């Protein structure tokens, strides 16, 4: 912003750059494991993934953690232990959910013949040393982050079996949705092919695909358990969804006559997904609905909204615990929205505000 100015599109440039890097790394991984056709189609399907699309317009740690995790997977597939260790250490430093890939990373290097000594000094010790600032901070602050993730975050209400099943179904639906229209069509197509066409594959391909699918299991498992007990974080499975699509594409391309129709459908559905997202971003549907209805029907403000007219929404969005939390912080991607929030909080005496930054 110091060079290009305080604009929404400027603040979103790191997110876009992170997603572009993720697309390139998906190509490299798919090409390394399978071939260039799978790599190119993996990029096309990933571009239609709602996880990547949404992550391209909002600034969250995942936009940095995702390409770092993919790079760690790529180094693992190339049997580069030190490079993989440094990369996964940086990924975990960016976001703790990067830990999801570490069990498979350790397993793969063990299977590739890395000795136990090197496994410890390279794959375990290097990431731990990179985490030294976080570890030291936790020691000084009574292991606050560990308590939050392992204890406080795990607290949930005790529900009936039907509620847990409902949560699990919602989790599965969120994962299917995150694949995007092209990914959903691919999933349905491959399931149909497995059931009806019984496409045969050689043992080497099957072994390679099962090894690749291992990367998806920790993410799906941990987030699935979390979602079942009520904490729905569907975007934490970013890596799992992308790798799953690579394997599905590789299977679909076992039939050479499927390449052209698969490419056409993926291009059409990915393009359609981008059009929908662009319309949702550029057109203030909420304001239009409220104007037509003559009252507030859609009450969730967006970048197109004027927050200064909605002090009650801001007030009701804060719980009693938030109001009494001295460390509460509001983070937004738009200087205009920051100014509106500060103005509301001061004028309505909702909170005592201390502004950080220019």
- DSSP state string for 268-287: HHHHHHHHHHHHHHHS-HHH
Contact by Cβ (8 Å): 41, 263: yes
Q: For residues 173 and 50, what is the distance between their CA atoms, to the nearest angstrom? A: 13
Residue among 30, 128, 20 at smallest CA distance from 77: 30
Cβ(129)–Cβ(247) under 8 Å? no
Of 75-84, 91-100, 227-236, 340-349, the least confident: 340-349
Least confident window among 227-231, 278-282, 307-311:
307-311
Look at 338 and 23; give whichever has higher pLDDT.
23
**Do 119 and 79 form a contact (C-beta atoms < 8 A)?**
no
Q: What is the mean pLDDT of residues 299-311?
A: 51
Give the residue with greater pLDDT, 301 vs 210: 210
Q: What is the pTM for the complete model shown?
A: 0.77
pLDDT at residue 260 above 70? yes
HSE-CB of 223 using CA atoms within 13 angstroms: 28
Average pLDDT score over residue span 113-131:
87
Please check whether residue 239 is in contact with residue 146, taking contact to mean a CB–CB distance below 8 angstroms. Answer: no
């Amino acid at each position: 912003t110091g060079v290009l100015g305080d604009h929404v599109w400027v603040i979103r440039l790191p997110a876009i750059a992170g997603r572009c890097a993720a697309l390139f790394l998906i190509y490299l991984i798919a090409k390394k494991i399978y071939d260039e056709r799978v790599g190119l189609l993996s990029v096309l399907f990933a571009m239609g993934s709602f996880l990547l699309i949404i992550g391209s317009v909002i600034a969250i740690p995942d936009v940095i953690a995702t390409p770092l995790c993919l790079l760690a997977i790529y180094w693992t597939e190339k049997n580069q232990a030190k490079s993989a260790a440094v990369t996964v250490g940086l990924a975990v430093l960016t976001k703790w959910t990067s830990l999801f890939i570490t069990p498979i990373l350790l397993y793969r290097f063990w299977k590739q013949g890395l000795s136990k000594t090197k496994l410890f000094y390279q794959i375990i010790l290097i990431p731990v040393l990179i985490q030294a600032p976080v570890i030291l901070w936790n020691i000084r602050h009574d292991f606050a982050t560990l308590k939050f993730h392992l204890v406080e975050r795990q607290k949930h209400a005790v529900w009936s079996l039907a509620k847990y099943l409902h949560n699990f179904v919602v989790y599965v639906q969120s994962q299917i949705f995150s694949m995007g229209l092209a990914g959903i069509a691919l999933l349905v197509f491959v399931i149909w092919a497995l059931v009806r066409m019984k496409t045969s594959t050689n043992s080497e391909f099957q072994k390679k695909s099962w090894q690749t699918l291992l990367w998806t299991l920790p993410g799906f498992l941990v987030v699935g358990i979390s979602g079942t007990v009520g904490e729905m974080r569907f975007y934490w499975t970013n890596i799992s969804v992308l790798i799953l699509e690579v394997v599905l594409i590789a299977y679909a391309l076992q039939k050479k006559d499927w390449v052209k129709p698969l490419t056409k459908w993926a291009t059409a559905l990915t393009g359609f997904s981008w059009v929908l997202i662009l319309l949702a971003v550029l057109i203030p549907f909420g304001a239009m609905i409220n104007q037509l209805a003559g009252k507030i029907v859609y009450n969730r403000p967006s970048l197109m909204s004027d927050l200064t007219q909605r002090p009650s929404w801001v007030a009701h969005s804060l719980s009693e615990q938030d109001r009494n939390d001295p460390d509460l912080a509001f983070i937004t991607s738009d200087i205009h929205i920051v100014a509106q929030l500060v103005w509301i909080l001061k004028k309505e005496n909702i909170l005592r505000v201390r502004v950080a930054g220019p």
